[in-house]
Amino acid sequence: MANRPNVLLISTDHWSAELLGAAGHPEIRTPTLDELARSGVRFRNAYSECPVCIPARRTLMTGVSPRSHGDRDFGETMPMPNLPTMAQTFRNAGYQACAVGKLHVYPQRSRIGFDEVILDEEGRTQYGVTDDYEGFLADRGYAGRQFDHGMSNNDYLTRSWHLPEETHATNWATQQMVRTIKRRDPLRPAFWFLSYRHPHPPLVPVDTYLDMYRRTDLRQPASGSWCEGELPYLLQAVRTRAAHIGAAETRAATRAFYALCTHIDHQLRVVVGTLREEGLLDDTAICFTSDHGDMLGRYGMWAKRLFYEPSSNVPMILVGPAGDGRVGHHGVEDRLVGWQDVMPTLLDLAGIETPDSVEGLSMLGTRQREWLYGEVGEGDHATRMVRKGRFKLIYYPAGNVSQLFDLDSDPLETRNLVLSENHREVLDELTGILVSQLYGGDEEWAHEGTLVGRPQRRFRPGPNRGLSSQRGHHWPPPPKTDMKQIEWHNEG
């Protein structure tokens, strides 16, 4: 055990792969993550197989695809599948395993293999649980006040954080992880999972970080020629729900989003500094990633549940323990990886055998996948993806719409090549892969190997009486919500 490294897995929520200085982004400031990328390897082509919170986290913790763990939508009351979890596998190998922040499992206090979970569930009182962050605020004299700023968990209005900076969820998660590291058993290695809730809305950065971007001249989000015609039903819905977000609101939301990212980046310096001062840094492997990204206004769309790059392409930075030549430094990898690959990679770094149930591949191994399948949603709200080489196929069954993008020549996905005769062969190949992966009722979208989809529909918006899952004042605790009343688009 003395020769096995500690492992620190850091996850955020809604952070796209492009939002790193190391990835060439001209506006966002991420000096800590850029330095970690130079100290290890950055995987440019990392994807969330199901870019929405709960299914992605089930993949992360089990190392299997949505098809195997059973959730490709938002199974908020689905227990973790009966599979070995990453935490339990580390524990079985003699590690201490502790999680801090957003776990997003059901029941909320399920530890899924961790020795300890210090929980921040973003005010999900409908499950009947008061989490540890709410308890912290109460101890500081702010009982129930975390959502008194009035911003929603699924909206893009913004204002600055309304309580002292040290009470912000980002600072709280950092300090809890620092305390966890300091309270470790010195005779055993540790697996630490630090899961920040931001930059997921509500967009409430502290003023210090909002001020950093007040004078930044932000680019307008890109659009695409394919946006000009009739859109498939799902994209009609996504754009219609955001139709009220104009140019000024887009700039304000983007500034706040970037501020939340930079805040996390700077707080990671405290975690790394603690590892260094505790004499643990050289003996610790670090992985930074995110469950999915955010469209941030590209093509007039926001949030997740889509397979365009801002939503599905996630950051993946891996720093090995000192002297581990398998990882190296100043590396940029083009291999295609998914969230199912995180578990076998970290176990590989620790010298722990990967459970037979795991479908992912170690990012350090010689085996590489040729293509990756992605899926999210059911019925008319479904979309599917195949990524292979430089090309990506996105499919919408409602309307039977396919989109083909060449990410080398068109990284912003502005030109749909589905009608290009020069790309007929690659379109047929990726379509064949997609058809071969259909299951669970999706088989009806194809006939004799050809995609036929579902009838096109016209999206007609309904009311938004809950203000996109707006939370209220949490003292006394609100009554438990009837889960049947929660609709698919109100996940948070």
Active site residues: 53, 104
The one-letter amino acid code at 285 reads A
Q: Counting Cβ atoms within 10 Å, is residue 238 exposed (0-12), middle (13-18) or buried (19+)?
A: buried
Q: Which helix (H) or strand (E) holds 194?
A: strand 190-199
What is the Cα Rg of the chain in Å?
22
How far apart are the C-alpha atoms of 295 and 306, rounded to whole Å? 8
8 A C-beta contact, residue 325 and residue 352: no
How far apart are the C-alpha atoms of 179 and 215, rounded to whole Å? 36
- What percent of the residues of the chain are helix, what percent strand, and what percent coil, each to the nearest 5? 35, 20, 50
The one-letter amino acid code at 443 reads E
How far apart are the C-alpha atoms of 66 and 392, rounded to whole Å? 19
Question: Token pair for residue 147?
Answer: 């959502």
Position of tokens 């190391």?
Answer: 22
CA–CA distance from 405 to each of 142, 308, 337, 384, 438 (Å)? 49, 10, 18, 14, 21
8 A C-beta contact, residue 220 and residue 408: no
